[in-house]
Each structure stands twice: as C-alpha cells, then as structure tokens.
Structure 1
Amino acid sequence: MAIETGTTDPALIKHLSRKALWHLMPLLGFLCFVSMLDRISLAFAGPHGMNEDLALTATMFGFVVGVFTIGYVLVEVPTAGWATKMGPRRWIIRVLLVWGAIQCLIAFAPNYEILVVLRFLLGAAEGGFAPAIFYFITMWFVRSYRPFGFMLIGGFYSLASIVGPILGAGIISMGNAGFLNSLSGWRILLLILGLLAIVAAIPASIGLVESPSKARWLSDPEKEQYAKILSADAEVANTPHKSVIATIRDWRPWVIGMGYFGVTYAMFTIYIWTPTMVSQFAERFGTTFNVYQSALLAGLPTLIAVAYNLVMSRLAGRRGWSGKLVASGAVIGAIGALWTIVADGPVLLLIALSFVGIAGLSGAFYMPMVSRIFAGAGGYSAIAIVNSLGASASFVSPVLTGYLIDVTGNTNAGFFFIAGLLVMSAFLGLMAERLAKEGELDDVVHHSAVGGNAIKETRVDAPRS
C-alpha cells in the first residue's frame, strides 16, 4: 500500500518545531551545563586545596576522578528500564536531586576513602541523566530537527568545559578569601555546585513536559496539530519498538557506540590537554601569554568546533546526512590530529586542535541516527548504550594519553592514536546512517529543517529492508 509522507504543512512544522526549540532547549541546555560542571569540578578543586587537605597523591587523585566514570557507565544501561517506566521528566528531576545531594556530601569528605565512595555514587546517580535528555529530544522533535537539538546539547556541554574553570577559580578564590571561614575554597565550590543541581530541579519540574498536550505555551489547536505532526513522523520513520533486554542483545548500539567512543575520546583530549599544550607555547614557539589569554586560547578550538557543528546540524536535518557529517568531521579530525605533530607555530597548532575538536563534537550526530533505529524503551536503552561507551572515553582518554606522554615524552603518539580512532568512527558513522535508513518509509527527510524550506517529498510502496 502506498504511504503518503508529506501529510502536514511544512510551514506549520517549522513554526511549531521552532516554538518547541525555544521553550525546551534553553532549559535542557542549562541542565546539561550544570551536569558538566559537576563532572569536571575536581579538575580545579584538586590542585586548589583538595589534594593537599586530603593528602592525595597524583595516582589517588586520578582514581578519584576516574571512579566517577566507572559508576556512571555501570549504572547507565541497567537503569534504562526504570527510566522509561518513570518517564524522562521525572527521571531527570530525580537524578538532579540525588546527584546534587551527593555532591554536597562530597564537599565535606574527610578523607580519601570516603571521597572515592561518594564519587562512585555521584557517577551512578548521574548515569541516566544524558540518555534521558537525549530521549526527551526524540519525543519532542521530528527527525529533521533532532540533529540541531542534539548539537545544541553538545554545545552546552562544551561551553561548560570552557566556562567551568573560570567559574571554579573565582569561587575557590572567594572561598579562600574568607567567604565561609569554616570551609576552604574547594569545599565551597563543590557545595555550591551540589546546591545548584538541587535548585535546578525546580525549573526542570516546571518547564519539562513530555507531550504537546501538557505544554502551556501551545494553544489547544497547536497541541493537537503538533501531536499529529510527531505521530506522522513516527509512522513514516517506521522505527521498531524493542524491549530493553532485546536492545542490549542487539549488536547495533554496541558497534555504533564504538564510533561514538572514538569521537568522544578526541573531544576529551581537547578538553584536557589543550590547556597544557597552550602553556607550552613559550617553550615550543617562544610566545608568552598571560593567564586570561591562555584560557581564551585553550577554549578557542572548542568554540570553533561548536560553531562549525551547529552550522552542519542544519544540513543534517535538511538532508538527513548525520552519518556523512560524522564521517566528514572524523576525517577532518584525523587530519588535525596528524597536523598537531608537525605544526610549527601557535596559530597552526590551534587550527589543528580545532579540527580535532570538530571531530569530537560531531559525535552528537550519532544520536539522531540511533533514534531512527530504535524507539520506545529500546530507543532509550540504545541511547544509553551508545552514551555509556562514549562516556568511558572520559576515563580512558586522559589515562592513555598521559601514559603515552610519559613513555614518549611528547603528545605525538597520543595524536597518532586519535587519528586511528577517528578513521574508525568515520566508517561507523556511515554504517550507522545506512542502518538508520533501512526501515524508513520515506527516502528523504520530508519536513523542513531548521531555518530551511520544505524539501523533496516522496511516496514509496513498501519499507526498505
């Protein structure tokens, strides 16, 4: 039987989708910003008093940072069933409250052992947060708008990695100056971040709604129209609903997750090692920068990566090219990784690092493809699998890169390894796009993309297999 894929008005889709973007994405982005601040909080708490107060060696500090990821990865996939039953809105609120409370407790950790336990629990508490955010986006946007939504989330995470150290340094300095005489600066920082997560649950409970029928910012006719738009898009997407267990047994999210691991590995290398490389400019290139100039230069590759991928996300939605954009971004990143080895000036090195950052952030394009392969509880658990594999890179990247630097005395081997990983991610990105198209009943994305006009519509007699 023929299936009509263009049953709704493109102008109406654009209007309502943009309305949803403006009302939901700033709040979701803020929550992700808070999440990222919590994740990286020890990066500036450690060297600003925590390591000395708790007598942490470099190895102990590294384990404290990494044990968060262990808890995060272990819990993320198993909790998918609970999260889908509870719903993403309630799950996000629960996660904010629990992780905020644990972060507050970390501020009062008396020793290394308690700190390790609490950091593990913090990772476990936050384990289902990102998949719930991603799943929420799939519930609210047609396929042509999801790449932009996912990339916005990636942009907020990246912004936190740039702004976080500046905020952290300011709060710690204020604390050390006697803001609270009974607490040192690093403890005040962790306490404030924990309280921020708890307070963030308030706007989350007010602003997050799981369907158009509950959105107060939509009129009654718009609620009905947008519900029909989402339903029509789901019908032509023809995405199968699987159970959590069936999805875990499926090979596809695990293989796609390896591609996501590769680009995330590159992104965390930029987050962690760019400041160090900038600090070495004086020795390597004979240039000197003050602290603020160095901070700006260290954040520049990430800002360029965000700008590039936000522009590309419009193309991903307009043409359905998420896989191609992952692949092209990964290839750009591989070139950049190799370029860092031979760059003979600070400008060229920053450009090369920006290329690597472009690859890292292009990983956000994996998520809309996952949402086109799995739906329902299976969609949530597939996103959790892919995200948990990517999150594991936040532990592996600094450890392995640091080891390679210790062994070789420079960053060259680490960037060779990144180039190889990105080639793998490029291939898996193309494979993910092919998997995403297999069951769809329309040949191209049939809705107008962000900022674009209506694209080609098509009819087919049966789904591809």
Structure 2
Amino acid sequence: MVSDSISSDTIKRVYVRIMPFLILCYIVAFLDRVNLGFAALHMNTDLGFTPYVYGLGAGIFSLGYFVFEVPSNLALHKVGARIWIPRIMITWGIISAGFAFVYNENSFYVMRFLLGAAEAGFFPGIVFYLSKWFPSRLLGGATAIFILGLPVSVLIGAPVSTVLLETMGGMAGLKNWQWMFVVEGVLSVVVGIVAYFVLTKGPEDARWLTHEQRDWLVRTLAAEKAAKEQVKSYGVVETPMSGKVLLLAFAIFCNIGALFGVTLWMPQIIKGFGGLSNTQAGLLTAVPYFCAGVAMVLNGWHSDKTGERRFHILIPACIGGLSLAMAGFSQSPLAGMIAICIGASGILASNILFWPLPSTFLTGAAAAAGIGLVNSVGNLGGFVGPYINGWAKEYFGDYSASMCVLGGMVALYGVIICTFLTVNARTAAGARTQFAPLQPAKAD
C-alpha cells in the first residue's frame, strides 16, 4: 500500500513539474514549423514563389533534420536535456526569425535546411527524455499528452499568425509575413533560455522529489532497463541495422509525409475550397486541429483503458487516409472541410500511439540513437509530402492526385504498425512458452 502511494504521488509530481513546460516547448517548436504555411498566403506573392518552389522549400527542412537528427540525439544523451534542449530552441529561434530576410528561391532553400538542422533532435530528444522519467506502462500516456502540443500549437498559431499578418505589415519597413517570423522566432529564443533553468537532467537529480519518491523512480526505471536488456541489449552501432528499427522508421515516414504534406499546405488547401480570403483561410486552419486534438485524447484514453494498440492505430489511419483522398476531390467547401478535419484527426490520433514503441526494446544510448534514427528517417516524409502537393498543384492545377497519395501513405502506416504489433505479440507469447519454468511431475 505504501509502495502504491509513493508511485502514485511520484508520477503526479513528475507530471506537474515537467509536462506543462515540455508541452509549451513543443507548441513553440511546431509553431515555428507551420508558420510558413500562414506566411505563404502573402510571402509567395511578394517573392514570386510558384507552388513547386514553395513545396520544395517547405520540404527541404526535413533534409536538414535528417542529416543532424541522430548526432543531436546522441549529444542530448551525453550532455543532458538541460543543456541540449535549450541549445536547440535558441538556435532554431534565431534562424526562424532570420526568415524575415529571405529574398529569393535560393535563400529560402538554405534557410529551410538550416532550420531543420537546428531543430534536429528536439522531438525524439523529448521522447527519450520522457523515457527517463516514466515507467513503460505510463510512457504511452505521457507521450500522448506531450504530442497534444502539436494541434494546440496550430489552434494558437492560426489566430496569432493571422493577427500578426493583418496588423503588423509596414512597421519598421518590414512586411507582415516578415514580422510574423521575427515575433515567433524571438518567442522560441525566450522559451529556450527559460528551459535551461526549468529542466532537470534525470530523476536522480530531481531535488523537487522527496528522497522516497526519487529512490522509487530510480529503482523502477533501472529494473525496467535491466529487464529489456536481459531479452536483448542493442548497441549504438547495431541499432541502425535492426529490422524493428528500420520498419518503424519506414512506417512513421508514411505518417509524417501525410502530416506535413497537409499541415504546410493547410491554409492554401482550405482557401482552395472556394470563396475565402487569406484571413478566413488562416483562421479556419485551426478547425481541423481542434478536431484532431479531441480525436487524439479520445483514442489515447480508450487505448489505455482497453490495453489495445493495433486497431487504435489501424482504424484511425485508414479512416484518415480515405478522408484525405475525399478532400482532394471535394467540390463543396463544407464537404472539403469535413473531410480535411477527419483526415487530420486520423493522422494524429494514430500518430500518438507510435512513439513509445522504440522504447519497448531499446535502452540507454541505443534508445537515443534508435529514436533519433526513426524520427530522422520519418521526417524525410516531411520532405516528400509537401513536395508532392507542390508538384501536383503546379502540374494538375489542384490537389486531388497528391491528396490520394498522402491518404495512401497514412493508411499504409496503419497497416505496417498493426502487423508489427501482431508479430511482436506472437513472438513474445512464444518466448514466454519456451522459457516457462518446467512444472514438477506429479507423483503416481
């Protein structure tokens, strides 16, 4: 009973102490990723960017992210989150503000690559950081709560970015989209500085926990780590060659490709439904993410309640994929909005249950490398998705073909993860049977 009380009190204190600030960090991070979609309503006209140029530049972010992802995550494991997460946030904030001075295609491409390089390691670094605080049975819920920062960032970012675009044009000789980049980039720098004073390296250094709470958490996490390594201990060099890691990387590549293919084009897609101004399109961008936030909470809650994971990933992914395809062919603004809302909900509701998976079989530096590799390969989808939309818009004049491709990608993600979990469950059941202790023979 005492142990149950300590465990419950400890986890509650960890949630209260670290989760709100981590969610704030993610809101700021994703805001600096997606603000390009709002800026594009004005910037593309001012700089003469075609849909192809915008789609290519939007996607190049992911190439920088890919190159520097694993090294960044290993650096976080080495020096600790208290130093590395602020470094990431301050660097990307400075570069994001620098987008105010983009003046042609090449400068746009270079800055997007640098922004990806600067942000590399943030998301998987936080996922790895959470694994240092939450036991495996609670890690999925903690990760899901953290990822809620994604739709919240757009819910906040849509009106904020729209207001900045509508009110700050011409001040100090800068255009409205330039001011938007400056203001939101400076916000990242400020939060990054605060992060240095808020984040704690790990439970063993958490002076805000009592001695009993700290001891319980350290022992629990150490026992889980030992149990994982007893089954199989992955090395840093071995991790990239693991079939499990590579399969997860390809699966999340499909999901993220659909996510950013939609997110970075969302204001323009909604405006394309017909009869909307830039301001209306910008504000309506928040609606799909409100729906996605609700779907994420409900899907994560029901999955935790039932203990079922496979179909809580497969069903939202397939429904979301079908809805994206329908949005591409919709001739009605209302039908198009409903389809894009369901599509965004399917992508994100299936995404939140993915990220605890690498930590179920990786520990220590291997976990840092594995999560970093999965996310870096996955984020290459962030190059493919926006590029496909830009190419299709310029070649066909609409998004019907590209939305079908993106819908197929998110459905394929669901099928892969459902299969992965099914095979894993059967393998684990076979191992339990094989190594079960022999029962003593009954006497005649």
**TM-score normalised to structure 2 length:** 0.84
Identify the residue that residue 402 of structure 2 maps to in structure 1.
Answer: 414
**For residue 340 of structure 2, what is the aligned residue in structure 1?**
353
Residue in structure 2 matched with residue 140 of structure 1 by the alignment: 133
Deviation at 1:186, TM superposition (A): 3.0
**C-alpha separation between the residues in 1 aligned to 2:183 and 2:393?**
35
- 1:415-436 per-position Cα deviation (integer Å, ceiling 9, x unaligned): 4323432332122112332466
CA distance in 1: counterparts of 2:201 and 2:328, whole angstroms? 48
Match of 1:217 among 178, 184, 208: 208
Equivalent positions of 1:76-155 (< 5 A) are 76-109=69-102, 112-155=105-148
Separation of aligned partners in 1, 2:8 and 2:326: 41
Q: Tell me if structure 2 keeps the 8 A contact 1:242–1:377.
A: no
Quick one: which of 323, 347, 356 aligns to 1:336?
A: 323
- Distance in 1 (alpha carbons) for counterparts of 2:347 and 2:243: 23
Pick the aligned partner of 1:39 from 3, 28, 33. Answer: 33
Determine the C-alpha separation between the residues in 2 that align with 1:94 and 1:208.
12
Specify every segment of 5 or more residues in structure 2 that has no aligned partner in the other structure, as ranges. 438-444
AA partner of residue 340 (structure 2): L
Distance 2:194 2:427 in 1: 38
Q: How far did residue 243 of structure 1 move?
A: 2.8
**Structure 1 residue 341, shift from structure 2 partner:** 6.3
1:301 aligns with 2:295: no
> For residues 202 and 357 of structure 1, what CA distance do their matches in structure 2 show?
32
Alpha carbons 2:132, 2:203 under 8 Å: kept: no
1:198 maps onto 2:198 in alignment: no
1:90 and 1:240, CA in 2 relative to 1: closer, same or farther beyond 3 A? farther
Please tell me whether the aligned partners of residues 36 and 157 of structure 1 are also in contact (alpha carbons under 8 angstroms): yes
Contact 1:135 / 1:379 at 8 angstroms: preserved in 2? Answer: yes
> Does residue 316 in structure 1 map to residue 297 in structure 2?
no
Kept in 2, the 8 Å contact 1:70–1:120? The answer is yes
Give 1:388's aligned residue: 376
**C-alpha distance in 2 between matches for 1:119 and 1:413:** 26
- C-alpha offsets along residues 372-409 of structure 1, whole Å, 9 cap, x if unaligned? 02111111122112212332222211221343344455
1:253-292 matches, cutoff 5 A: 253-282=245-274
Would you say the 8 A contact 1:323–1:369 is kept in 2?
Answer: no
Give the drift of 1:230.
2.6
Match of 1:249 in 2: 241
Aligned-pair CA distance for 1:323: 3.5
Instruction: State the one-letter code of the partner of 1:374.
Output: L
- CA distance in 2 between counterparts of 1:33 and 1:221 reads 33
1:230/1:317 Cα in 2 relative to 1: closer, same or farther (>3 Å)? farther
User: Does the C-alpha gap of structure 1 residues 438 and 35 become closer, same or farther in structure 2, counting only changes over 3 Å?
Assistant: farther
Distance 2:344 2:356 in 1: 20
Unpaired segments of 5 or more residues in structure 1? 1-6, 283-287, 445-459
In structure 2, relative to structure 1, the CA distance for the partners of 1:415 and 1:377 (3 Å cut) is same
Counterpart mapping for 1:227-238 below 5 A: 227-238=218-229
Q: Structure 1: how far apart are the matches of 2:224 and 2:42?
A: 51
CA distance in 1, matches of 2:332, 2:95: 45
Amino acid at match of 2:211: D
Counterpart of 1:226 in structure 2 is 217
CA distance in 2, matches of 1:55, 1:342: 27
- Number of corresponding residues: 433
CA distance change for structure 1 residues 166 and 20 in 2, over 3 Å: closer, same or farther? same
Q: 1:311 to 1:39 in 2, by over 3 A?
A: same
Q: Judge conservation of contact 1:8–1:229 (CA < 8 Å) in 2.
A: no
Deviation per residue, 1:231-259 (Å, 9 max, x gap): 34434455644232211122222211221
Worse-matched range after superposition: 387-396 or 343-352: 343-352
Partner of 1:66: 59
Q: CA deviation at 1:209?
A: 1.2
Q: What secondary structure is seen at the aligned counterpart in 2 of 1:144? A: helix
**Structure 2 residue aligned with 1:430:** 418
Q: Does residue 18 of structure 2 align to residue 17 of structure 1? A: no
- The alpha-carbon distance between structure 1 residues 316 and 19, as it changes in their structure 2 partners (threshold 3 A), is farther
Report the AA paired with residue 151 of structure 1.
A
